[in-house]
């Protein structure tokens, strides 16, 4: 946490503050005591502004919001005025693949250049942190999947889709721009290259990162594809951006951020274990690639993923651990937290059986709790010098005695029932004989 003296004249600008990654950066910066200014496309979106202002209720400084747009270069100079650090996250996103790549590439590249030019003009900016992507490092057709990609690698942008191409070319443009600056205008640049970003949504925004978990929860398809994801937790990505902003060793470098790789089927199984008892029928069976290709003829969402079937991209995260000193979260935690946030925020409908966070897999949770309690008792016993094995034997003897007593009681109960049955039979026979005797007496009288 920064002291008031440290943060008084230290303003950090976060571009696209309402975005999935950016909102986490804003929150973490505010929680740490920074003065934060965020850009949004329109201050007229009252709901969006309200959510942003509620990200860090205990913040030392109120979040300042300003309007800025990648397609309006003139909007950036007022945004960066008196700013020390800029974390540039925003990039144009399209719901569908554009007809022409330039529709996405041009505003991304030119927007990044506009932000950098404004930073130079401001004369107050020390460093810019650019959120790029692992797709700019190693991805797509022709990528050597036998190797582990490092920050030294670059993807051939011409072999990428529009979104990935825009990320790659924007990062290249940023490095080129900073390199060509005269000494009197020099600013530092650090880049964060996250893998497939997943994790909790804290501002209700929709983006492509949500699609995998959302589709599994909603059972959009009754199967899963043979897809492998290098996963980065959104909270780790936010932390990496903030560390890259201030650490001396981060300047002039790229930083790959990735927790680990996971197959879609394994993701589905993690989610099923947590949410099946809460009314979510998550598919966990792989669909054969041949069948997927056939389905892809009629379904565009399936066709899009076909180039990545069975492909595993591996990234070297040494700089993440050694330079940024970041220990990533487990993918299981990332997935479960993300799923709950989607349900809680209304992006996925609540089922009738939904119980909320920490309620999934209730039976297993209780068993684990009991097991932990037993282990604690055993540990205490050992500390007190008690012999736990002897206790177990004693418990076993008591159990045997109880079983023996139960057996005896059962046998006695059976005997009692037999006696009752015999008595009832005797009574019935006696009644029959009495009836016969009465009949004989009547005959004699006649």
The position carrying tokens 């804003």 is: 26
Calculate mean pLDDT across residues 324-335: 97
What tens digit of pLDDT does each residue of 6-37 get? 555 689 999 999 999 999 999 999 999 999 99
Q: Which range among 276-290, 367-381, 398-412 shows the weakest confidence by mean pLDDT?
A: 398-412
Is 182 inside any structural domain?
A: yes
pLDDT, position 51: 94
Q: What does the pLDDT read at residue 165?
A: 93
Q: Which residue has the higher pLDDT, 386 or 328?
A: 328
- C-alpha 204/C-alpha 186 separation (Å) is 38
Pick the more confident residue, 131 or 378.
131
Above 80 in pLDDT, residue 46?
yes
Q: Does 211 or 5 have the greater pLDDT score?
A: 211
Q: How far is Cα 61 from Cα 75, in angstroms, rounded to an integer?
A: 24
What is the structure's pLDDT at 387? 41
pLDDT of amino acid 96? 64
Ramachandran angles phi, psi of 360, nearest 5°: -70, 150
pLDDT band (50, 70, 90) for residue 381: very low
pLDDT tens column, 330-379: 999 999 999 999 999 999 999 999 999 876 454 444 444 444 544 555 55
Q: What is the mean pLDDT of residues 35-55?
A: 94
For 253-266, what is each residue's pLDDT tens digit?
Answer: 999 999 999 999 99
User: What does the pLDDT average to over 211-226?
Assistant: 94
Number of domains making up the chain = 1
- The mean pLDDT value for 375-389 works out to 47
Average pLDDT over residues 399-415: 45
Is the model more confident about 102 or about 129?
129
* 119 inside domain: yes
Please give the average per-residue pLDDT across 160-174, as a whole number: 93
Q: Quick check: helix, strand or coil at residue 147? A: coil
Q: What is the mean pLDDT of residues 99-107?
A: 86
Can you tell me which residue has the tokens 């059962």?
410
Q: Are 230 and 134 in contact (CB under 8 A)?
A: yes
Q: Considering the domain boundaries, does residue 197 fall inside one?
A: yes
Is 57 inside a domain boundary?
yes
Helix intervals (H) in 196-261? 211-217, 234-246
Based on the residue annotation, tell me whether 167 is a catalytic residue of this protein: yes
pLDDT of res. 359: 63
Residue 69: strand, helix, or coil: strand
Q: Is residue 194 part of a domain?
A: yes
- H helical segments located in 34-137: 46-53, 76-80, 102-122
Predicted pLDDT at 207: 79
* Domain range for 168: 7-93+103-365
Residue 404 lies in a domain: no
- For residue 200, what pLDDT band results from cuts at 50, 70 and 90? very high
Q: Is 313 exposed, middle or buried (0-12, 13-18, 19+ CB in 10 A)?
A: buried
Cβ(240)–Cβ(30) below 8 Å: no
Answer with the residue of higher pLDDT: 5 or 282.
282
Q: Determine, yes or no, domain membership for 137.
A: yes
Residue 224 clears pLDDT 80, i.e. is over it:
yes
Asked if the model's pLDDT at residue 195 lies above 60, the reply is yes
Judge whether 391 lies within some domain.
Answer: no
224-251: average pLDDT: 97
Average pLDDT score over residue span 65-83: 95
pLDDT at 91 over 60: yes
Res. 197: pLDDT tops 70: yes
Handedness of CA 18, 22, 25, 26 (dihedral sign): negative
CA 17 and chain centroid, separation: 20
d(CA 69, CA 124): 21
Cβ atoms of residues 135 and 164 within 8 Å: yes
Mean pLDDT of the chain: 84
Question: What mean pLDDT comes out for the span 134-145?
Answer: 94
* C-alpha of 3 from chain center: 32
Quick one: pLDDT at residue 203? 81
Do the Cβ atoms of 331 and 261 come closer than 8 Å? no
The reported pLDDT for the residue numbered 267 is 97
Contact (CB, 8 A) for 103 and 70: no
Which listed residue (167, 243, 265, 329) is catalytic?
167
- Residue 279 has a pLDDT of 96
DSSP-derived 3-state class of residue 339: helix
Question: Residue 427: is its pLDDT beyond 90?
Answer: no
Q: CB neighbours of 371 closer than 8 A, spacing ≥ 6?
A: none
Which CATH number goes with the domain that contains 33? 3.40.50.720
- For 262, the enclosing helix (H) or strand (E) is strand 260-263
The pLDDT-based confidence of 304 (bands split at 50, 70, 90) is: confident
């Amino acid at each position: 946490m920064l002291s008031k003296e440290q943060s008084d004249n230290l303003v950090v600008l976060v571009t696209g503050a309402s975005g999935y990654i950016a909102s986490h950066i804003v929150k973490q910066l505010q929680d740490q005591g920074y003065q934060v200014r965020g850009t949004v496309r329109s201050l007229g979106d009252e709901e969006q502004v309200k959510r942003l202002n509620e990200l860090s209720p205990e913040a030392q400084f109120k979040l300042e919001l300003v309007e800025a747009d990648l397609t309006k270069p003139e909007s950036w100079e007022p945004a960066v005025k008196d700013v020390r650090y800029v974390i540039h996250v925003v990039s144009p996103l399209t719901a569908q693949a554009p007809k022409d790549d330039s529709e996405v590439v041009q505003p991304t590249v030119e927007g990044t250049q506009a932000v950098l030019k404004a930073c130079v003009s401001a004369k107050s900016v020390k460093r810019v942190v650019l959120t790029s992507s692992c797709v700019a490092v190693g991805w797509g057709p022709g990528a050597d999947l036998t190797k582990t990609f490092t920050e030294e690698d670059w993807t051939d942008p011409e072999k990428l889709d529009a979104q990935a191409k825009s990320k790659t070319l924007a990062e290249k443009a940023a490095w080129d721009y900073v390199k060509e600056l005269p000494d009197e205008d020099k600013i530092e640049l650090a880049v964060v290259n996250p893998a497939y970003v997943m994790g909790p949504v804290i501002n209700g925004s929709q983006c492509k990162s949500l699609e995998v978990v959302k589709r599994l929860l909603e059972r959009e398809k009754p199967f899963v594809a043979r897809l492998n994801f290098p996963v980065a937790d959104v909270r780790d990505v936010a932390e990496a951006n903030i560390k890259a902003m201030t650490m001396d060793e981060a300047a002039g470098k790229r930083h790959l951020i990735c927790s680990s790789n996971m197959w879609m089927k394994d993701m589905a199984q993690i989610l099923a274990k947590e949410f099946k008892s809460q009314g979510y029928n998550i598919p966990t069976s792989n669909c054969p690639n041949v069948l997927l290709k056939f389905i892809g003829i009629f379904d565009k969402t399936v066709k899009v993923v076909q180039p990545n079937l069975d492909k595993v991209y591996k990234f070297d995260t040494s700089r993440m651990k050694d330079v940024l000193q970041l220990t990533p979260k487990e993918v299981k935690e990332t997935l479960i937290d993300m799923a709950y946030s989607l349900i809680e925020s209304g992006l996925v409908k609540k089922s009738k059986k939904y119980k909320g966070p920490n309620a999934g897999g209730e039976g297993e949770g209780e068993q684990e709790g009991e097991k932990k309690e037993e282990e604690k008792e055993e540990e205490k016993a050992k500390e007190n010098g008690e012999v736990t094995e002897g206790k177990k034997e004693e418990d076993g003897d008591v159990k045997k005695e109880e079983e023996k007593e139960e057996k005896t009681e059962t046998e006695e109960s059976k005997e009692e029932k037999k006696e009752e049955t015999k008595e009832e039979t005797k009574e019935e026979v006696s009644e029959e004989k009495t009836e016969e005797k009465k009949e004989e007496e009547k005959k004699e009288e006649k």
